[in-house]
Amino acid sequence: MGMTLGGIAAIGAGASLYAMKKSWDPLPSVISAGFTTVDLSPMDSGELRTVEWRGKPVYILKKSADMSKCADRDVQVGNDDYSVGVQICTHLGCIPSYIPANQVFKCACHGGEFDACGKNTFGPPPSPMEIPPFKIDGNKLVLGEEGPEYLRLVGKA
Ligand code: FES
Q: pTM of whole model > 0.85?
A: no
Asked if residue 94 and residue 21 are part of one domain, the reply reads no
Nearest of 119, 93, 92 to residue 105 by alpha carbon: 119
Atom of ligand 1 nearest to the CA of 89: 2
Asked if residue 96 and residue 64 are part of one domain, the reply reads yes
Q: For ligand 1, atom 1, which residue shows the shortest CA distance?
A: 92
102 Cα to the center of ligand 1, angstroms: 18
- CB neighbours (10 Å) of residue 91? 18
Instruction: Count up the domains in the chain and report the number.
Output: 2
Residues belonging to the chain: 157
Domain limits at 12?
2-27
Render each residue's pLDDT in the chain as its tens digit; 157 residues. Answer: 555 555 555 555 555 555 555 555 555 545 555 899 999 999 999 999 999 999 999 999 999 999 989 999 999 999 999 999 999 999 999 999 999 999 999 999 999 999 999 999 999 999 999 999 999 999 999 999 999 999 999 998 7
CB within 6 Å of ligand 1 — which residues? 89, 91-92, 94, 107, 109-110, 112, 123-125
**CA atoms of 94 and 8, how far apart (whole Å):** 54
Asked if residue 136 and residue 105 are part of one domain, the reply reads yes
